[in-house]
Amino acid sequence: MNINQLYVSDWLGKYSTKDFEEMYTYGADDLGMRLEGEEIVLKCWSPFAAQVSLNIYLSGEESSASVEQIQMVRGEKGIWQITLGASGYLNKYYDFTVVFDNIPNEDSKAEFTACDPYARAVGVNGKKAMFIDLIGTNPEGWDTDRNPNQSMAWNEMIIYELHTRDLSADLKSGIKNRGKFFGLIENGTYIINGKEKIKTGLDHIKDLGITHLHLLPFYDYGSIDESLPYNENKYNWGYDPVNYNVPEGSYSTNPFDGDVRIRELKQTIYRLHENGISVVMDVVYNHTYNEGFCFNKMVPGYFYRIDADGVLSNGSECGNDTASERSMVRKYIVDSVLYWAREYHIDGFRFDLLGLLDTETMQEIRKGLDTIRPNILIYGEGWKLQTELTKKNVVLATQEHVSEMDRIAMFSDNLRDAIKGSVFEEEEKGYISGNKAYAEEIKTSLMGSSEWAEYPEQIINYTSCHDNYTLFDKIALCNKQIGIEERIRQNKLAIAIVMLSQGIPLLHAGEELLRTKINRQGEFISDSVREGDDVNSIKWEMLLKPEYQNVYRYYKGLIAFRKNTGLLHMTDPAEIKKTYFFAETENELVICFKVIQNNEIMIVVLNADDKMVEINLHDIFVKEGTWNDTLEGKQFQCYVNEYAADCKPVSETVYDENDCTIAVQAQSCVVLKNIQF
């Protein structure tokens, strides 16, 4: 029987009822396998099953035949369990056969074979779970491993969004473990420029100054055949979860042996921590790869939002939407996130299509993480999507509900689109390309504000990520008439706005070397999810070009400037309102403001026009009536201009009230700070 045929059974009508939840919600934190002394205790949840049997295998390959079958015993709350002697079963593989013979409205019997939804280790392609001693997978020193940025405020973090494979796929990276977890942790790799060695890989990321490495999904996903060698398997971003609690096999050096991927991921996290970098995991609980998902086989139809006609809700556009409002789905998501934080020392979570999950689930996750370690970062895509909830009064975790949850941030599409133009309209220009209509939105975002957020640390500021065109490609597409120099100026202005905004900045990996995604036909690729390494990989040789080197140093300099300037780490919107002064400018494309707090003064002029502007700061702030009281007698130096950015002044020029005319080149910005004695 096809699993979809069960969706019209009247079980579907029961799953979200109070009666069902009271009868079958299982609260203990012991689903899946646990090693208790010399014994393995295995539990799974399948309330309507007539029988659940455990199949044992010697290898994890799909084709391997079971060597033993053991009946599981029905317990309370829909739980099935068995206790086994550890010595006979550790490192062996298993799955479940679930039999349903009491299907309402159906005469037939149904039987499904499913991997353990709580599997901690799996064989190749995640078909079978493995009994594992997790302590044995810990690297040396794991007990003392810590998040190196544990006490950092969220708005002091600099997030770098990267696909594991992209960092090392390019042969010129000099990285040996191409496309693997281990490719993320090789120190000392470089590309040669004459006599100079230019850093690549991990050393490049460290040099850039980021604090948090956000890795695209690295739980076990379905779109890559792990059994193929590296050069033959396809590329995918991995937004297609299969086993939520196990690392992806294709990033390990041996996907066939269940514990290798676990060891290698832990080792990778340990080394990143040693290098001062925190790790953010991209998690995708809003949908699964397909309806063959193991949890859905154990409890048919329970995991998804399905209407009375058996039609799956599809707000995710990936075929199904997770019913996070159901008690045991919620528990599953919460258990999974907490497991990664505990077992793998993950420092932050980025939720894909967060707007499809509900606020109660997110609150439970927040509370749970706070019991593990302080300050674990949570952010996600709070987009509003059409989804068919299975209960009344459920609040979805969208931008408009961000303040109904504690300490969860969301991506700001407001700033993203204001900077470079809508991602849905290829040729629409943003502020950096001279679109005046976005100037007000830029001002709002600079202050860490938006119509949906209450405070800046609810906002992730970015101008590009893995989705859509890269920043540099988008600029090219909506500015077909202009040359590369002008496009580079716009790109630099874009990142300056992100780094000068209150909130949490996020960079798309490779943006700092003007990443482009172009295929062999010379076309820009918008969503490169199924393209190969040649489109997706970071092309290290770009750093050999002086103008690209300059962009890299500009990103690095802006990061250093941001880290060093307390004025950019404000948390209180009322305080921000009090400290920001925007001056009227004649040109709508010129944004001029000052920020004053205690003895620190920052003056910023953004010029998105395609010609240079001169601004006399004295005149412009006198007109506002804000020169005399605060700026009189002060001297200023320049930290950011069209060419350079740094935490130290980038030129020797000193500005004061007698000499305060600044020239802001076309599509660039100038940032001054006062000299403090």
Q: How far apart are CA 525 and CA 516, in angstroms?
A: 9
Q: How far apart are CA 487 and CA 656, in angstroms?
A: 33
Of 203 and 248, which has the nearer Cβ to Ca ion?
A: 248
Of 15 and 251, which has the nearer Cβ to Ca ion?
A: 251
Task: Name which of residues 89 to 108 contact Ca ion (CB under 5 A).
Answer: none
| Number of C-beta neighbours around residue 276 at 10 A | 12
Of 161 and 220, which has the nearer Cβ to Ca ion?
A: 220
Site for Ca ion contains 358 (CB under 5 A): no
Query: Shortest gap between Cβ of 462 and Ca ion (angstroms)?
Result: 28
Helix (H) or strand (E) holding 20: helix 18-24
Going by C-alpha positions, the residue among 243, 235, 328, 342 that lies closest to residue 284 is 243
226, 264, 325, 381: the catalytic one is 381
Whether residue 173 contacts residue 188, with contact meaning beta carbons closer than 8 Å, is answered with no
Of 268 and 449, which has the nearer Cβ to Ca ion?
A: 268
- Degrees, nearest 5: CA angle 543-544-549: 50
Which amino acid would we find at residue 570?
Answer: M
Residue 518's φ and ψ, nearest 5 degrees, are -130, 135
Of 166 and 325, which has the nearer Cβ to Ca ion?
A: 166
Q: Is the dihedral of CA 121, 123, 126, 127 positive or negative?
A: negative
Query: Shortest gap between Cβ of 353 and Ca ion (angstroms)?
Result: 20
Part in contact with Ca ion (CB under 5 A); list of ranges 155-163, 243-251, 367-375, 661-669: 243-251
Q: Token pair 């019991």 is at which residue?
A: 371
Q: Token pair 């040359």 is at which residue?
A: 483
Binding mask 199-228 for Ca ion (x = CB under 5 A): ---------------------x--------
Of 46 and 250, which has the nearer Cβ to Ca ion?
A: 250
Query: Shortest gap between Cβ of 138 and Ca ion (angstroms)?
Result: 23
Distance of CA 609 to the CA centre of its chain: 33
Whether residue 616 contacts residue 661, with contact meaning beta carbons closer than 8 Å, is answered with yes
Q: Is the dihedral of CA 314, 316, 317, 320 positive or negative?
A: negative
Q: Does 352 participate in catalysis according to the annotation?
A: yes
Query: Shortest gap between Cβ of 159 and Ca ion (angstroms)?
Result: 25
Q: How far apart are CA 180 and CA 264, in angstroms?
A: 9
Query: Shortest gap between Cβ of 241 and Ca ion (angstroms)?
Result: 9
Of 291 and 512, which has the nearer Cβ to Ca ion?
A: 291
Query: Shortest gap between Cβ of 287 and Ca ion (angstroms)?
Result: 16
Query: Shortest gap between Cβ of 44 and Ca ion (angstroms)?
Result: 21
Going by C-alpha positions, the residue among 105, 127, 120, 126 that lies closest to residue 9 is 105
Going by C-alpha positions, the residue among 200, 364, 370, 181 that lies closest to residue 279 is 181
Going by C-alpha positions, the residue among 656, 662, 620 that lies closest to residue 642 is 662
- By Cβ distance, which residue is nearest to Ca ion? 220
Output the CA torsion 496→497→503→507 (10° steps).
-60
Of 160 and 218, which has the nearer Cβ to Ca ion?
A: 218
Binding mask 573-612 for Ca ion (x = CB under 5 A): ----------------------------------------
Query: Shortest gap between Cβ of 43 and Ca ion (angstroms)?
Result: 24
Collect all residues with Cβ–Cβ distance below 8 Å to 323 and sequence separation of at least 6: 15, 16, 302, 303, 304, 305, 329, 389, 390
Part in contact with Ca ion (CB under 5 A); list of ranges 199-207, 248-256, 412-420, 507-515: 248-256
Part in contact with Ca ion (CB under 5 A); list of ranges 50-58, 244-252, 295-303, 633-641: 244-252
Of 221 and 593, which has the nearer Cβ to Ca ion?
A: 221
Residue 316's φ and ψ, nearest 5 degrees, are -75, -15
Using the CB atoms, write b or e for 428-452: b if 16+ within 10 Å. Answer: bbbbbbbbeebbebbbbbbbbbbeb
**With DSSP H G I counted as helix, E B as strand and the rest as coil, what are the percentages for the chain, rounded to 5?**
35, 20, 45
Task: Name which of residues 3 to 62 contact Ca ion (CB under 5 A).
Answer: none
Task: Name which of residues 613 to 632 contact Ca ion (CB under 5 A).
Answer: none
Burial (0-12, 13-18, 19+ Cβ within 10 Å), 144: exposed
Q: How far is CA 305 from CA 358, 378, 392, in A?
A: 13, 24, 13
Q: How far apart are CA 263 and CA 182, in angstroms?
A: 11
Query: Shortest gap between Cβ of 124 and Ca ion (angstroms)?
Result: 8
Part in contact with Ca ion (CB under 5 A); list of ranges 54-62, 106-114, 246-254, 362-370: 246-254
Of 124 and 159, which has the nearer Cβ to Ca ion?
A: 124
Part in contact with Ca ion (CB under 5 A); list of ranges 240-248, 327-335, 419-427, 517-525: 240-248
166, 291, 347, 352: the catalytic one is 352
Residue 569 gets which letter from DSSP? -
Helix (H) or strand (E) holding 459: strand 459-461
Query: Shortest gap between Cβ of 122 and Ca ion (angstroms)?
Result: 8
Q: How many residues bind Ca ion (CB under 5 A)?
A: 2
Query: Shortest gap between Cβ of 536 and Ca ion (angstroms)?
Result: 18
Q: How far apart are CA 210 and CA 212, in angstroms?
A: 6
Q: How far apart are CA 232 and CA 284, in angstroms?
A: 26
Of 220 and 417, which has the nearer Cβ to Ca ion?
A: 220
Part in contact with Ca ion (CB under 5 A); list of ranges 32-40, 245-253, 295-303, 429-437: 245-253
Of 248 and 381, which has the nearer Cβ to Ca ion?
A: 248
Part in contact with Ca ion (CB under 5 A); list of ranges 31-39, 247-255, 404-412, 611-619: 247-255
Query: Shortest gap between Cβ of 221 and Ca ion (angstroms)?
Result: 5
Which residues are annotated as catalytic?
A: 352, 381
Contact footprint for Ca ion (CB under 5 A): 220, 248
